Structure 1
Amino acid sequence: MNARADTKAVVVGVDGSTSSIAALRKAAELASTFGHPLEVITTWQFPISYDRTLPPAIWSPEADAQAILDATADEVFGADRPDHLTLRVVPGPAAAVLIKRSEEAELLVVGSRGHGGFAGLLLGSVSTACAQHAQCPVLIMHAPRTAHPHPEPLPLPEREQALR
């Protein structure tokens, strides 16, 4: 289905993590299915302890954010990017930027930063803030599980050998 220019966007925040890649994949699927434009946002800000006298040629958090955004879009879409796709690098704290953008969005999609085990049940600070304060529905995606929580049992002959 083609996205209409007059419809609200599905907005997704990405940071290069596996959960944000999963969020972008799901956001792209939903935007395509329901005919909404897709807006992909990553944010940047100077670290509190950053010496702003360093020239941007030495280090630029904005350039780093752009590289993360481009790499994430390349991983999900390759050369086949949707027509109604917007990629944006925005200065500011991620949660504040995404919450502000949610005021005009159809849906906000973010990744969870849980790292498995008990911590995997918890949401990251950005996803928690978005869930609590966004002005549109929020979908929080976990990274796909790639490993089994328990190792596969050995085939029977190898088990017997291991027991000897």
Structure 2
Amino acid sequence: MDNASAVKPIVVGVDGSPGSIDALRKAAELARALQLPLRAVTAWQFPVTYDGSLTETWVPETAARELLDSAIESAFDHEPPLALTTATVAGPSARSLITESEHASMLVVGSRGRGGFVGLLLGSVSTSCAQHAHCPVLIMRPVDEPGAAAASGTAHDHVGAVS
């Protein structure tokens, strides 16, 4: 099978926020209905203001992997979809997801993630993805919150796919 006829997955950005977990569930539902594979992606990077003060044992890719695994556990309990693959990618969230969209049938992201201002309808990552993705984009608002997801002040603010 050549690349042109390869089945393209539904890609979902995951940062551990309630919106990204809802997006993960919706992406799985769509993947199942459309009989497509599902690819969950978490982007990571060093904080913009990184000054080298993080502990030597802290590994950002490992933190991103743990965040992704925890989000999958939250979304699916102990029964993740069979066609689920995962990836942690280095780089800014929006750019990483836009790159992933080049090989996707659809990109699913939460409307708001871990950063930014709570009152905004869309975050910077979801807005960038909607403007620049190479496939259709579904932006999910949190299911249990009519407004934006709450901002987080955790140590994982630099890890995420949706903000």
The two structures have a TM-score, normalised by structure 1, of 0.77
Q: Is 1:24–2:24 an aligned residue pair?
A: yes
Rg larger in 1 or in 2?
1
Partner of 1:142: 141
Secondary structure of the residue aligned to 2:22 is helix
Matching of residues 65-76 of structure 1 within 5 Å: 65-76=64-75
1:13-52 alignment, distance < 5 Å: 13-52=13-52
- Following superposition, the deviation at residue 60 of structure 1 comes to 2.1
The one-letter code sitting in structure 2 at the alignment partner of 1:9 is P
Contact 1:108 1:139 in 2 (8 A): yes
Alpha-carbon offset, residue 67 of structure 1: 1.2
Partner amino acid for 1:40? A
Structure 2 match to 1:157: none
AA at the equivalent of 1:90: V
| Separation (CA, whole Å) in 2 of partners of 1:60 and 1:28 | 29
Question: For 1:9-46, what per-residue CA distance to the aligned partner results, in whole angstroms no more than 9, with x for missing partners?
Answer: 00000100010011000000000011100000001001
Shift of 1:146: 4.9
TM-aligned CA distance change 1:74 to 1:139, over 3 Å: same
Q: C-alpha distance in 2, partners of 1:138/1:34? A: 15
**Counterpart residue number, 1:60:** 59
When you count helix as a share of all residues, which structure comes out higher? 1
Indicate how the Cα distance of structure 1 residues 98 and 146 shifts in structure 2: closer, same or farther if over 3 A, else same: closer
Question: 1:6 Cα deviation (Å)?
Answer: 3.8
Deviation at 1:78, TM superposition (A): 2.1
